[in-house]
Structure formats: structure tokens, C-alpha cells
Amino acid sequence: MTRKLLPALVVAAVALALYPAYGTGYGIRAMLQIFMWVALAGSWNLISGLTGYVSFGHVAFFGTGAYTGAILIATHGWAWPPAALAGGVAAGLLALVIGWPCLRLKGPYFAIAMLGLNEVLRALVSYFEGLTGGGNGLSLPTLYASVQIYYAMGALAAAVVAATSLIVTSRFGLRLMTIREDEVAAEAMGIDTFRHKLLAFLLSAIGPGIAGALTARDQGYIEPLSVFPLAITVTMIVMALFGGKGTVWGPVLGAVVLFVAQEIVWARYPYVHPLLFGAIIVAVVLAMPRGVLGLLQVMYRLPRTI
Amino acid sequence: MTITPTMLGQVVVSGVLAGSLYAMVALGLALIFGVMRVINIAHGPLLMLGAYTTFFLWAGLGLNPFLTVPLAMIVLFVIGALLQRTLVFRVVDAPELSSLLLTFGISIAIVNLAQLAFTSDLRAVEYITGAWVLGGLAFSKSRVIAFLFAAGVTALAFLVLQRTRLGKAIRATSQSREVAMVCGIDVGRIHLLTFGLASALAAAGGSLLAVIVAIQPEMGQVWTFKSFLVIVLGGAGNYPGALLGGLLLGLVEQLAALVLTTQLSEVVAYVLLVAVLLVRPTGLLGGRQT
Amino acid sequence: MAFVLEIEGLTKRFGGVTAVNSVSLRLAPGRIHGLIGPNGSGKTTLFNCITGVERPDAGRVLLGGERIDRLRPWQIARKGVGRTFQVTRVFPELTALENLLVVTRGDREAAIARARELLRFVRLDGLRDEYAGNLSYGQQKLVEFVRMLMRDPSLILLDEPAAGVNRTLLNELLDAVRQLRDQGKTVLLVEHDMKVVMGLCEMVFVLDHGEKIAEGPPGLIQADERVIEAYFGR
């Protein structure tokens, strides 16, 4: 199905690649944000949308990537591209450490472990002040690289979508979905669900890790509250759910629509929008569990692999 | 630093005093999980609402904050029952993903509503400060009174569970819903009352905390995590286990504060959770495998 | 004779209740075995202990002489034990074909060909692209049945294959079971429908209150005093 969309995708990619040459500063920043949310929501979708194991702490990977990248750049003088990749690696390692004990078990253990992870990382960042700057934060040397970061974040978003598309159309992806559908039956079929979950979780952590490092470079300054807020987790969950969890393009749709809505409408009522996000989660779970794209798939009998 | 017997004694005192609150609040989460197989992510935010109820009754009407505990419990019983009635009942039989996401959404909405309504300013109920000193050990006055209330409320909850028809129905439903239905138990009603009761237990926790710590809209979220940790320590589906799990968490946190630093007490609690999940996922005290 | 599956003194308790109490039984290769007993006699628990879903409190389970009672369900499945469930468990949001494809690796075309062959075997090839959740209960049961065959198991465990299935479908299913037996596979089935058990099985085990109270060919079992008392008498 994605193959049929290919011409449109190429046009979109070319347009987005040319955009920095013509766009305004604000426009480039906004697009950068959208890329970031596509990468984050799409990554959350890989574990939670496909296997049904809900991660309530995906921002932990974003923050881990941000600190890893920032420390490597500020303290060790790394260039930002390898530092960004290192952020992804660090986030992936964290996913293995958390996933190893928590993904063995069925039930809500994983969800709650992820819920608590964020607080723990914040505490650790504050504790290891020498390394992280603690509550004072960490400043990065000045660098004007917004356009490069734009391309890097765009490539990351594209990579997450492409990876999702490959997974969803593969038998590996089918096996991930059997975990969501019926884990007991999946095991009875000989599927090593633990390894599948762990691998999906690992993949889902790398994107946010890279995005965190890129964001740290882009903003030039990070502190615990700016890279570990619960709001980032909430936002990626809302976007993936609204667009359609378990689909390829749902998180993209959710990220674009909700980001634009946030910029245009809710920016005027800043305190209302987190409340609305909570309400959207409730409404989607109860009224539209497949999200917008899932609904379209059912209505127009579109393939699931879109 | 050398650790003296007095310091260890203080760990036990402070640990038990704090643990009583953990036990009471976690019992609420355990009840909902036992009866409905739902982990209520909004449990901590409901606790926060309990704390605000006490604050406003104290600040607005001048009520003795400890006397507001039953009032806060009643208010949150109603709110909890309403949540169950309007939203949560729809996902009781749905896949786990739905109930987790739904209660997560509710928790986000509650916290942000509280931020709109009460602002993010820190509030405090200044009622009783200082400590009694007994044999070189400090007994924080507010914590001792909170301990007595928590012990009383928890005992009452167990009395309800063990002795009353409602309690028997709740326990029967958490054993097996089918059996409960065959026995003529109105399962929907039991779900409603359980959610109310659990929210009231959270409210009692918040209400007592109001006298001890500063209140703000985000104070509750960590309590969902800690309550769950207590359930894991005690063994899921094992209600008395929640009591021991609560005390254990209190002691471990105090010990960590003594040996390491208070800053890392959350980290220690987290490591404890991960360690228990690795070594003995059915809980230290055993319990029903889920 | 080498037995395919040997269960020795298997015990499983839930809290204070002993669901299976020191049960021993052996399955001979290439035979259809029946496991019967009143409700709550421990049949499904025994199944779950064989397939690794539950871990026995005591006793051993040997598959081809090798202990499997400490293995995870997926490891046991890969050793050639296939099962179906009492209440059918297909993957509802996967198509019928995908339900079968999930366990395959390697050559995708070959896997699809094999899956379609099995779907044709139960006459569901025409519905291969339908989501399994949209199929009728009987069709789901067939999908579950052939999905189990994708790994070409040597031991097949069927939990109440006749429940909720109409006569025509049932006869097809029973024919399929006989065909599998003729291919040399060993079958153990839990069943309530006595006609099915007596007509199909060559060896029957009877459980009551978690204990094995009788075993033997169907004819003898039907005449056994204890069985009549525990089962037919009520």
C-alpha cells in the first residue's frame, strides 16, 4: 500500500527538502517540531501500538538521549551528528535494562515501571550534578545549525515511518501484533514473546534518544524539567492514539493535526491544552479506539499496512 | 559516617509511620485491581484531590484538618464512584491497554483541572509541627497522628472486607467474577462501590499528607507508582500483603535516606521494584499469579 | 514401546485447592487419546501444565523422554506440541492467512503456499484475507486448528474441539483428526461429548476431582463402576 503512495511521498520529501531555502524562520522551526513529534509518536507506536504494552514513560528515552548528546558535545567536544547517534544508543541501552525485568511479565508491570522511570531519571540527573549540571542545567557551545538539524530530524522522522512500514508488512510485525491480540495463544504457537517485545521496545527507544540529542543541540541548553516532562509522553501518546495506534501513518497524521491545532488554537489558551489532551485520550479510548486512520481503514476497507 | 543503633531505631520509627500511609493508599489500588483487573493510574491524582479537600475545609471553614479526613473520604468516594459509573466501567472487560490508557487520560485531566482550579502554587496546612522525643527517637507529631488515622482507616477497611456482606461480595468478585455472578452478586454494583471505597482510601492518604507535606496538583502521580510497588511487594491479589508491602517500602526508603541520601530514595524504590520483578514476580509474600 | 508423552505424579494447586492431584499418564505414538471428567475435574489445568502455561507444583512431564515441565510455552510448542483452546483464541485483527503465517520464517512464498494449503484443507481458502475476528465461531475454530498445524506438531492437544460446532463441521474436524493420526501424529483431546470420545478415541483417561480414576479403551471405561459413579451417574 505504501508503494502506491510512493510518488506522493517523493513529492512531499522533495518539497520538505527544499523548504528551508524558502521558508521563514518560524516555518522551519515549526516543521522541525512536527518532524520531532512524528518521530516520537511513531516510536511509541512501535512498542505500544503494535504489542499493546503501554509505555507511560517514553520521554525517559528522549531525556536520556538529550543528556547523552549534550554531555558528549559540551564536555567531550563531540560533533553533533555522532553525539545524536550516541543518544540513540544510550536510550536503546536503557530500554534493554528496563525491558529485561519488566517485559517478562504479563499485566501492567511494564506500564507502571515506565510511569516511574521518569522520576528516577530526573532524580539521577540532579544527583550526578558534576556530570549533568544538576538543576542548573547544561549549556552547549553556540552553533548555528538549525537547517542541518532540520534535515537530521526530518531524516529521523522518515526513518521511523519507514521502519514502521517495514515492520508492519513483515512477519516479525505480525508476531508483534499477536502479542497485542492474544499473548497466551502467541506463546502456544511457539512465539518467543519476550524477545519480540524486547526488540520492539529497543527499536522504540532509539528514535526518541536521537530526537532528544538533536533537540538538545538545537536549543543549546537543557535542564531536567525541559527534557523529562511528563507532557512529552502525554503528547506522543495522544498523537499516536488520535491518528491510529498500530498503523503506519496514524502517528504521522496525529502529530501533524494536533501540532497544527496546538499552534493555531490552543496557543491562546495554554493551560487548557494539557487538559484537552487528557480528555482526548479518554474520548479516543472510549469512542474511537482505532483512531482516525483506523476508522478510515474500517470504513473504506483499506489494508492495515497503511 | 557510623550508623548508631539510635539511627536505626529512627529508621524503624519513621519507616513505620510513613509505611502506614503507603499501606492504606495501596490497599485502594489493590482492591480495584483485584476486583476489576484494572490498574487505576488516576489513583494518585485522586489522593491529590483528597489533600485539596482537606486544605480548603481547613483554610475556608477553619475545620480541624484531621476531622476533615472522613469528609474528604466521602467526597472522593462520590467522585470515584462517578468515574467508575461514567467512564471506567466501559473498559473493565476490554484489553488491558484500554483501561491503562483510559485511567491515564483521566489522571492527566484531573491534574490539569486541579492546576486550572487551584493553580500550581504550593499550599500547606499548618496545623501541628514538631516532634515528641522518646528515648532519643523523634516521633513527628503530625506523622504520629496520621499513622493513628491510617491504622484506624485501614483496620476499618479490613473489617468491612472481612465481616460485612459487601466485603464478602468484594472478595468473592475478586476471586472469580463468574462465581460471584452465580451467587447472585450484582457485579456492576460491587465495581462501583469498590471504586468508591478505593478512592476514599486514596483520599484519606491525601488528607493526612496535607498536614505533613506541601500540596500541589502534581503531588499525586508518584503515589500511583508507589502504591503499585507496594502491591508488587505484597503480592498482587493479596490484600493483607499490601499492609506488609507498605511498611516494607517505608522502611526501605528511610534506610536508603540514612545510608545514601534522600535525593535517591525514589531511585531506591524503583530499583526495589525492578529487583522484585526479576527475582520474585509473585511478590515477596506470594499471592495470586496474574 | 517408547511413549510420546509421559506424565508422572503431576500435582497443581491453586491456593488451597488441588486442581490436579498426582496424575500419571502416558500417550502412545500414533493414537488418539481422550481425557474426560466432570466440570472442574482438572482437565484444562492438566493441559496447561503440559503446555507450560502453568507450572506444576510436583511431578514431571516428559516429551520423548525429555523433561519439559520447566520450559516456557513457546519452547514446548517448538518441540512439537500443538494445542487449541477451550474458547477459541484466534488473533482477531489479523487475517485468516496471517494467523497462519505468524509462525513461519524464511521463504515467504513457500510459507503462504503452505498456509493456503491448510486453509483449503478446512475449506477456508476463500476467506483467507478476512480478519479472523469477522469469521463465525466455527470458522475461527478451524483457523485455530490449522494454525496449530503450521508447525507440524507431533503431539496435538485439543481442548473441547466439539464445543460450539455444528454437526457437519464437527464431522469434518473429526475426519481431520483421524487423518492426522494416520500420518503418525499423537492426539490428546479433552471432550464433553461422549459420542465423540467413544467414537474417536482408542484410549481414554478419566479425571475426577483432580485425580485419575480410570484409564482404558472406551468400551471398558463405559463399564467402569467408578467412572459411572463420577461421570455418567449424575
- Per-position DSSP letters for chain A, written without gaps between them: -TTTTHHHHHHHHHHHHHHHHHS-HHHHHHHHHHHHHHHHHHHHIIIIIHH----S-THHHHHHHHHHHHHHHHTT---HHHHHHHHHHHHHHHHHHHHHHHSSS-TTHHHHHHHHHHHHHHHHHHH-HHHH-GGG-EEPPP---HHHHHHHHHHHHHHHHHHHHHHHTSHHHHHHHHHHHHHHHHHHTT--HHHHHHHHHHHHHHHHHHHHHHHHHHHSEE-HHHHS-HHHHHHHHHHHHHH-TTSSSHHHHHHHHHHHHHHHTGGGSTTHHHHHHHHHHHHHHHH-TTHHHHHHHHHTT--TT-
Among A177, A181, A193, beta carbon nearest to C74: A193
With a cut of 70, say whether residue B289 has pLDDT above it: no
> Are the beta carbons of B120 and B133 closer than 8 angstroms?
no
From the list B101, B228, B267, the residue facing A281 with the nearest CB is B101
**Inter-chain CB proximity A54 and B236 less than 8 Å:** no
Q: Contact B97/A54, CB-based, under 8 Å?
A: yes
Asked if the model's pLDDT at residue C234 lies above 90, the reply is no
Which residues in chain B have their CB less than 8 angstroms from residue A52's CB? 95-97
A283 min Cα distance to partner chain B (Å): 8
User: Does the pLDDT of residue B1 top 80, yes or no?
Assistant: no
C-alpha cell of C109?
Answer: 512464498
Phi, psi of C10, rounded to the nearest 5 degrees: -75, 130
Hey, are the CB atoms on A190 and C103 less than 8 Å from each other?
yes
**Whether A121 contacts A60, CB under 8 Å:** yes
Cβ A281–B221 below 8 Å, yes or no? no
* Segment C12-25 mean pLDDT: 88
Q: How far is CA A2 from CA A249, A301, A304, in A?
A: 9, 15, 11
Statement: residue B27 has pLDDT above 70 = yes
Label residue B283 by pLDDT band (50, 70, 90).
low
pLDDT score recorded for residue B285: 59
A180 close contact with B: CB closer than 8 A: yes
List chains adjacent to chain A, taking adjacency as at least 3 C-beta pairs closer than 8 Å: B, C
The residue-averaged pLDDT of C208-213 equals 89
CB atoms within 10 A of CB B86: 11
**A vs B: CB pairs below 8 A:** 127
Nearest Cα residue in chain B from A111: B100
To the nearest whole Å, the CA of A182 is away from the closest chain C CA by: 6
Confidence (pTM): 0.92
Q: Which residues of A touch B106 (CB under 8 A)?
A: 278, 282
Q: How far is CA B263 from the centre of its chain?
A: 22
Q: Are strands C186-190 and C32-36 parallel, antiparallel or unpaired?
A: parallel
- For residue C226, pLDDT over 50 is answered with yes
- Report strand pairing: C203-208 vs C5-14: unpaired
Length of chain C: 234
Low-confidence ranges of chain A (pLDDT < 70): 1-3
Q: C32 is written with which cell numbers?
A: 488418539
Residue A133 is predicted with a pLDDT of 84
Band of pLDDT at residue C75, cut at 50, 70 and 90 = very high
Q: Identify the bridge partners of residue C12 per DSSP, sorted by sequence position.
A: C20
Distance from CA of B270 to the nearest CA of A (A): 7
| Chain A residue with minimum CA distance to B39 | A108
Q: What is the spatial order of strands in the sheet that C203-208 belongs to?
A: C81-83, C155-159, C186-190, C32-36, C203-208, C211-216
Q: Cβ of A286 and B102 within 8 Å?
A: yes
Does A225 touch chain B if contact means CB atoms closer than 8 Å? no
Distance (Å) of CA B149 to CA B48, B70, B145, B198: 18, 10, 6, 16
Q: What's the CA dihedral at A98, A99, A105, A107 to 10 degrees?
A: 80
- In angstroms, the separation between the Cα of residue B263 and the nearest Cα of chain A is 7
Task: Tell me what pLDDT residue A145 has.
Answer: 83
Residue C36: pLDDT over 50: yes
pLDDT value at residue C231: 67
Distance from CA of C98 to the nearest CA of A (A): 7
Q: What are phi and psi of B37, to 5 degrees?
A: 60, 30
CA distance A296 to B79: 36
Choose from C84, C91, C156 for mutation: most chain A CBs within 10 A. Answer: C91
CA-nearest residue to C81 within chain A is A188
Model confidence at B286, pLDDT cuts 50, 70, 90, reads low
- Tell me the pLDDT band of B106, cut-offs 50, 70 and 90: very high
Asked if A184 and C102 come within 8 Å (Cβ–Cβ), the reply is no
CA A178 to chain centre: 22
Q: How far is C232 from chain A (nearest CA, A)?
A: 33
Q: What is the pLDDT of residue A52?
A: 94
- pLDDT-based confidence at C232, cuts 50/70/90? low
Burial of residue A77 (number of CB atoms within 10 Å: 0-12, 13-18, 19+): exposed
H or E element, residue C17: strand C17-27
Chain-chain contact of B267 with A123 (C-beta, under 8 angstroms): yes
b/e map of A183-197 (b: 16 or more CB within 10 Å)? bebbbbbbbbbbebb
Kindly state the DSSP code that residue C105 receives in the 8-state scheme. -
Element (DSSP H or E) covering residue B14: helix B5-36
- Supply the angle between the helices A146-168 and A193-219 in degrees, to the nearest 10: 170
Q: Assign C95 to helix, strand or coil.
A: strand
- Cα distance between residue B15 and residue B250, in whole Å: 4
Q: Which of C74, C97, C108 to mutate to test the interface with A (most CBs of A within 10 A)?
A: C74
pLDDT tier, B290 (very low <50, low <70, confident <90, very high otherwise)? very low
Query: Would you place residue B127 in the very low, low, confident or very high pLDDT band (cuts 50, 70, 90)?
Result: confident
**Using an 8 Å Cβ cutoff, are B38 and B101 in contact?**
no
- Judged against a pLDDT cut of 80, whether residue B237 lies above it is answered with no
Please judge whether C91 and A188 are an interchain contact, meaning their C-beta atoms are less than 8 angstroms apart: no
Half-sphere exposure of A184 (CA within 13 A, CB side): 14
Per-residue pLDDT at B288: 45
pLDDT at B113: 94
Instruction: Return the number of other C-beta atoms located less than 10 Å from residue C34's C-beta.
Output: 24
Closest partner CB to A101 (pick from B104, B225, B274)? B274
Q: How far apart are CA C79 and CA C68, in angstroms?
A: 9
C191-201 pLDDT, tens digit per residue, is: 888 888 888 99
Per-residue confidence (pLDDT) for residue C90, from 0 to 100? 95
Residue with cell 484531573: B110
Q: B-chain residues within 8 Å CB-CB of A54?
A: 96-97, 100-101, 104
Pairs from C192-199 (Cβ < 8 Å, separation ≥ 24): C192/C36, C192/C160, C192/C162, C192/C163, C193/C162, C193/C163, C194/C36, C196/C161, C196/C162, C196/C170, C197/C34, C197/C36, C198/C222, C199/C174
Nearest to A285 among B98, B266, B269 (CB): B98
Torsion of CA A168, A173, A174, A177, to 10 degrees: -100
For residues B37 and B31, what is the distance between their CA atoms, to the nearest angstrom? Answer: 9
Residue C139 pLDDT greater than 60, yes or no: yes
Nearest by CB to A174, from C52, C102, C150: name it.
C102
CA distances from B72 to A6, B55, B152, C169 (A): 59, 10, 15, 60
pLDDT over 90 (residue B278): no
Q: Give A153's contacts (C-beta < 8 A, 6+ positions apart).
A: A32, A35, A36, A39, A211, A214
At a CB cut-off of 8 Å and minimum separation 6, what does C110 contact?
Answer: none
A288 to chain B, any CB pair closer than 8 A? The answer is no
Shortest Cα distance, chain A CAs vs residue B45, angstroms: 13
The DSSP code for B88 is: G
What values do phi and psi take at A218, rounded to 5?
A: -65, -40
Give strand ranges (E) for chain B: 131-134, 137-140
Q: Which residues of B touch A111 (CB under 8 A)?
A: 39, 41, 100
